[in-house]
Structures are given as structure tokens and as C-alpha cells.
């Protein structure tokens, strides 16, 4: 009798507890500025979970579009933890109001943005390439199938900021897109039709990060089996003078989905078979 109750208990668990997290794990979604062990990366480090897959028009061959001041080393695909420490520009509250912390860090196309002077020609005092109507695309790839999770009930709760969000004369807003891709190395940007509704943010000068919830079937979000991409569309507005850094920051608050139904049914079936065998024995 005790064995029968134990097997019934297994079946009951299969019916109830099936949600699992895919936050900050391999093949899951990640906050910016974390190592593969979910430890904060050092200043200037390359982020292993985000790649820069698209540059604004005119960026190629431009000094302001180079990582280290040489034209032979253009932006991408690496994304960098913007050099600090906190208290130095742009992490001093002048450009980016919220400093790095243990949960997430600012990333950009260039590590050294301590003095990105507009019109500067001597490294590192050169601006980050800006364009009013074209954008940078930063990508994070994840795969619920490899994690044994169903896309049907998937949901991501994140907070983010970008430089810039939007503003005059730029009428285009930074936002998030979600789409299916062919492989982990696919660099085709998600199309405009895959933009998550209301996924913009309050901008780099905001005192708080903007919360965005991405749930399957809501606000144009579609989670499917296989590789998925979260593309962060980031504009960098043209400025006439002063410093003009560029970057974005993402904090994953939670990411959950369910174990696929066939797995649950298999557990229930195993329990029923076990009960049948025990009945025959007794």
C-alpha cells in the first residue's frame, strides 16, 4: 500500500509542479555583463551572451566606429562592458544615471567610452558612431528546446535602459524584437514585424530601468521550438558637440516556462503502470 501511495504521489507532482527557470543558465536568457558562471565581468571584458550583429549605415570605415582607434578593427561582433569604474564618464550619473551593480552592467560597441568627444580625432577621444534613423542591433540567443522547456507558456520579465531611447531629431525609439532563427550563429536581424509592443525604455538619464514583460502570445511575442533571438534595437542620436557615448543594459528579473506536456504524461503513465504491477503482485 505504501508503494502505491508513493507512485500516486509521483503522478500528482507531475500534474502540479512543472515550471522551470531559464534565467542566467546555458541556453537561457542572461543579464548583461555576466560571465558563463553568472559572475560579474571585469571592466572592458567581452560579454559572452550578447553579440553586435548590425551597425548603423555609414559606420564601416569610420574612426568613430572602431573598438581601439584603428580602422582595421571595426565594431562587432564583440560587445564590451563599458570601462569604469563607476564614477567615471559615462558611469558617473551624467550620461547614464544608473551605475553598474551586481545584477547587470552597461554594454557598448566599445569598451573605452571615458571621453567620447564628438568630432575628436585622437584616440580615445573619439565619439561612438551616431545615426538619427539607423540603429545598432545587439543579440542574445536562447533555446527552450535544449532546456527541455515548452515555448507555449514561456515568459521573460526584464528591465532595461539604452543610450539613446529616442529624441529630437531622432523619431525612432530603441526597442526589443523576438524571432526564431536557424542556428545559434545566425546573424540575420529580427524583422520590424517581430517588435515587442511597448518594449521601449525611458532612456539613459532615467533614474530607473524600464520593465518589459515578454509573454508568449502577448504584445506580439511568439516563442517557438528551436533557437530564438532577442534583438535589442539601440539608437545613438547625432549630437553637435560634447560627449556622445552609446550603450544598453539588461537585467533579467525572471524567465520561466513549463516542462512539455509529453514529459508530464510520461510520468503519469509510469505511475499508473507501477500501480498496475503492484496490484498484480498483491
Could you report the per-residue pLDDT of 111-149, keeping only the tens digit for each?
999 999 999 989 889 999 999 999 999 999 999 999 999
- Report pLDDT digits (tens) over 182-229: 999 999 999 999 999 999 999 998 989 999 999 999 999 999 999 999
Q: At what angle do helices 2-16 and 261-281 cross, to 10 degrees?
A: 170
> What is the rounded CA–CA span in Å between residue 249 and residue 9?
44
The rounded distance, in Å, linking the Cα atoms of 157 and 264 is 25
Least confident window among 115-129, 227-241, 265-279: 265-279
Q: For the chain, first and last CA: distance in Å?
A: 9
Q: How far apart are CA 79 and CA 101, in angstroms?
A: 18
Q: What is the pLDDT of residues 94-109, one digit of tens each?
A: 999 999 999 999 999 9
Cell for 232? 535589442
pTM recorded for the entire structure = 0.87
Tens digit of each residue's pLDDT (9 = 90 or more) over 43-99: 999 999 999 999 999 998 889 999 888 888 899 999 999 998 889 999 999 999 999
Q: 3-7, 37-41, 176-180, 223-227: which has the minimum mean pLDDT?
A: 3-7
Cα separation, 199 vs 116, whole angstroms: 28
Amino acid at each position: 500500500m505504501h508503494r502505491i501511495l508513493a507512485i500516486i504521489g509521483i503522478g500528482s507532482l507531475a500534474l502540479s509542479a512543472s515550471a522551470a527557470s531559464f534565467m542566467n543558465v546555458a541556453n537561457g536568457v542572461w543579464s548583461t555583463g555576466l560571465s558563463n558562471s553568472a559572475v560579474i565581468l571585469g571592466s572592458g571584458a567581452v560579454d559572452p551572451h550578447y553579440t553586435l550583429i548590425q551597425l548603423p549605415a555609414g559606420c564601416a570605415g569610420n574612426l568613430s566606429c572602431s573598438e581601439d582607434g584603428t580602422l582595421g578593427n571595426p565594431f562587432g561582433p564583440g560587445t564590451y562592458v563599458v570601462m569604469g569604474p563607476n564614477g567615471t564618464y559615462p558611469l558617473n550619473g551624467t550620461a547614464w544615471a544608473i551605475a553598474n551593480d551586481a545584477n547587470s552592467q552597461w554594454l557598448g560597441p566599445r569598451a573605452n567610452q571615458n571621453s567620447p568627444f564628438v568630432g575628436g580625432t585622437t584616440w580615445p577621444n573619439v565619439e561612438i558612431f551616431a545615426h538619427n534613423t539607423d540603429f545598432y542591433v545587439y543579440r542574445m540567443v536562447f533555446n527552450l528546446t535544449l532546456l527541455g522547456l515548452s515555448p507555449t507558456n514561456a515568459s521573460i520579465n526584464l528591465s532595461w535602459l539604452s543610450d539613446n531611447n529616442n529624441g529630437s531629431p531622432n523619431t525612432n525609439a530603441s526597442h526589443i524584437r523576438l524571432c526564431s532563427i536557424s542556428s545559434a550563429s545566425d546573424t540575420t536581424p529580427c524583422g520590424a514585424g517581430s517588435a515587442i509592443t511597448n518594449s521601449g525604455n525611458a532612456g539613459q538619464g532615467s533614474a530607473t530601468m524600464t520593465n518589459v514583460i515578454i509573454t508568449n502570445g502577448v504584445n506580439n511575442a511568439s516563442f517557438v521550438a528551436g533557437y530564438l533571438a532577442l534583438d535589442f534595437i539601440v539608437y545613438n542620436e547625432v549630437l553637435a558637440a560634447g560627449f556622445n557615448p552609446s550603450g544598453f543594459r539588461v537585467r533579467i528579473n525572471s524567465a520561466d516556462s513549463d516542462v512539455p506536456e509529453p514529459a508530464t504524461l510520461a510520468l503519469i503513465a509510469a505511475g499508473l503502470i507501477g500501480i498496475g504491477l503492484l496490484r498484480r503482485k498483491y
